[in-house]
């Protein structure tokens, strides 16, 4: 039987791999949050200050991090080492295997898993954002209309987009209306940040997230709204989150009658205004101006981003309805929980 070097190290030097993993997480956290203080690092990684002090001194002696009054940052050498470590650590932590198993189980185009659990470590959401940005970069065409939903995860993606994206022709449009939500997590705001960070263009969609059928018919006749609505329908890429059903219903100030319907239907997940139960059945739909589930089948690149073990039920439910072309970007916490079910 042939053993890889990693297999041998796991058997003969398990302590070495634990140390590598600890140092990798420290470098990864500093890279995301820099400049960062030692206390912040200690709390976020759940390491005692004594343990962290010795690790930080080691990394500083190796010229992988530098320290200043503002906090710790990675050196160029530290960034290079971290990039080289990524593929090795994915193997050690079994992330490649997680991705393959999930992709096969869900029957979708691709699954990308980042280390950590964003429920336990909020900074992992930034890693979800970074992984999404990298995935987008590989998929962009010469001309792109990118439809984006709201939410804190999409806001994290926006922060990871950089000016080099603007080398392609990009237009960011909100996938649906969103007045009434927290402004910073509205699709309009997120599209504006994405456009600003990439030196690109965006359009606003000033319509409510949910409307009555009478209001819907009136809005859709407005020339500016109709124009943006058509841009959304012709998107070449969609970036969207997946929400917990009850959290999303409360955020939308859902009427008692509809909330009863959502609870009665045992909804666990939400996306695009659709509420899904664990079997993936739609138990309630909000009438929204913007992308509908059927529209996703006509869009080449659909990227769903959601992390945290607590989101596993919502992700599993939505994926039973998701188009085969979907790329799921999630974290280790959600991935492991998904495979347990």
Q: What is the pLDDT of residues 225-242, one digit of tens each?
A: 778 888 988 999 999 999
The C-alpha R_g of the chain, in whole angstroms, comes to: 22
Chain segment 283-309, per-residue pLDDT in tens: 999 877 788 899 999 999 999 999 999
CA distances from 309 to 67, 100, 269, 333 (A): 34, 18, 13, 5
Q: In the 8-state DSSP scheme, what is residue 189?
A: H
Of 133, 34, 17, residue with least CA distance to 85: 17
Distance between CA atoms of residues 102 and 111, nearest Å? 7
- Name the pTM for this structure: 0.86
Condensed to tens digits (0 to 9), the pLDDT of residues 111-138 reads 999 988 999 888 899 999 999 999 999 9
What is residue 101's predicted lDDT score, i.e. its pLDDT?
95
What the chain holds in terms of domains, given with CATH numbers, is 5-92 (1.10.10.10), 95-340 (3.40.50.1360)
pLDDT tens-digit map of 156-208: 999 999 999 878 899 999 998 765 556 778 899 999 999 999 999 999 887 76
User: Where are any strands of DSSP class E within the chain?
Assistant: 65-68, 71-74, 110-114, 143-148, 169-174, 201-202, 237-241, 243-244, 267-271, 274-277, 282-285, 301-305, 326-331
Residue with tokens 């209306």: 177
């Amino acid at each position: 039987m042939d053993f890889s070097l990693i297999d041998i190290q796991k058997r003969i030097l398990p302590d070495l791999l634990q140390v590598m993993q600890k140092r990798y997480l420290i470098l990864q956290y500093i890279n995301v949050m820099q400049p960062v203080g030692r206390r912040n690092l200690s709390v976020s990684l759940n390491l005692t200050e004594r343990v962290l002090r010795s690790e930080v001194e080691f990394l500083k002696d190796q010229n992988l991090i530098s320290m200043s009054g503002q906090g710790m940052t990675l050196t160029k050498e530290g960034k290079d080492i971290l990039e080289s470590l990524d593929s090795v650590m994915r193997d050690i932590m079994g992330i490649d295997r997680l991705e393959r198993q999930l992709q096969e189980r869900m029957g979708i185009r691709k699954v990308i898993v980042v280390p950590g659990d964003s429920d336990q470590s909020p900074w992992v959401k930034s890693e979800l954002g970074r992984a999404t940005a990298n995935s987008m970069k590989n998929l962009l065409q010469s001309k792109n209309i990118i439809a984006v939903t709201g939410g804190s995860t999409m806001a994290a993606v926006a922060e990871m987009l950089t000016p080099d994206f603007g080398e392609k022709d990009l237009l960011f449009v909100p996938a649906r209306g969103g007045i009434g939500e927290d402004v910073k997590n509205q699709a309009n705001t997120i599209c504006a940040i994405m456009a600003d960070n990439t030196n690109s263009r965006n359009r606003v969609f000033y319509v409510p997230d949910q409307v009555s059928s009478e209001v819907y018919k009136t809005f859709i006749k407005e020339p500016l709204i109709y124009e943006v609505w058509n841009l959304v329908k012709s998107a070449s890429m969609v970036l969207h989150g997946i929400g917990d059903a009850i959290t999303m219903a409360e955020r939308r100030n859902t009427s008692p009658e509809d909330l009863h319907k959502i609870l009665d239907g045992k909804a666990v997940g939400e996306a695009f205004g659709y509420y899904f139960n664990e079997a993936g059945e739609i138990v309630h739909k909000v009438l929204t101006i913007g992308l509908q589930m059927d529209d996703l089948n006509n869009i080449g690149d659909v990227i769903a981003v959601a992390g945290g073990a607590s989101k596993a039920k919502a992700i599993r439910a939505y994926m039973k309805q998701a188009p085969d072309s979907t790329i799921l970007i999630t974290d280790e916490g959600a991935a492991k929980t998904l495979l347990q079910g």
